[in-house]
Amino acid sequence: MSADWAVELHGVHRRYGRGRTAVHALRGIDLTLAPRTFTAVMGPSGSGKSTFLQCTAGLDRPTSGTVRLGGTEITGMKENKLTALRRTRLGFVFQAFNLLPSLTVEQNVALPTRLAGHRPDRRRTADVLAQVGLTDKARRRPGHLSGGQQQRVAIARALVTRPDVVFADEPTGALDTTTAAEILGLLRRAVDDQGATVVMVTHDPAAAAWADRVLFLADGELVDHLDRGTADRIAARMTSLTRPYEGAAA
Cα 19 to Cα 241: distance, rounded to the nearest angstrom? 28
Minimal distance, residue 3 CB to ligand ADP, in Å: 26
Cα 171 to Cα 144: distance, rounded to the nearest angstrom? 20
**Helix, strand, or coil here: 120?**
coil
Cα 68 to Cα 56: distance, rounded to the nearest angstrom? 8
Is 66 among the residues that bind ligand ADP (CB under 6 A)? Answer: no
Residue from 6, 48, 86, 92 that binds ligand ADP (CB under 6 A)? 48
Nearest 5 degrees, angle CA 7-CA 8-CA 11? 145
CB 25 within 8 A of CB 14: yes
Q: Which stretch binds ligand ADP (CB under 6 A): 45-53, 62-70, 89-97, 170-178?
A: 45-53
Cα 49 to Cα 167: distance, rounded to the nearest angstrom? 12
Q: Which is nearer to ligand ADP, 156 or 168 (CB)?
A: 168
Q: Which is nearer to ligand ADP, 2 or 45 (CB)?
A: 45
Is 47 among the residues that bind ligand ADP (CB under 6 A)? Answer: yes
If binding means CB under 6 A, how many residues of this protein chain bind ligand ADP? Answer: 11
Is 171 among the residues that bind ligand ADP (CB under 6 A)? Answer: no
**Helix, strand, or coil here: 91?**
strand
Residue from 16, 34, 102, 121 that binds ligand ADP (CB under 6 A)? 16
Is 25 among the residues that bind ligand ADP (CB under 6 A)? Answer: yes
Write out the residues near ligand ADP by the rule CB under 6 A: 16, 23, 25, 43, 45-51
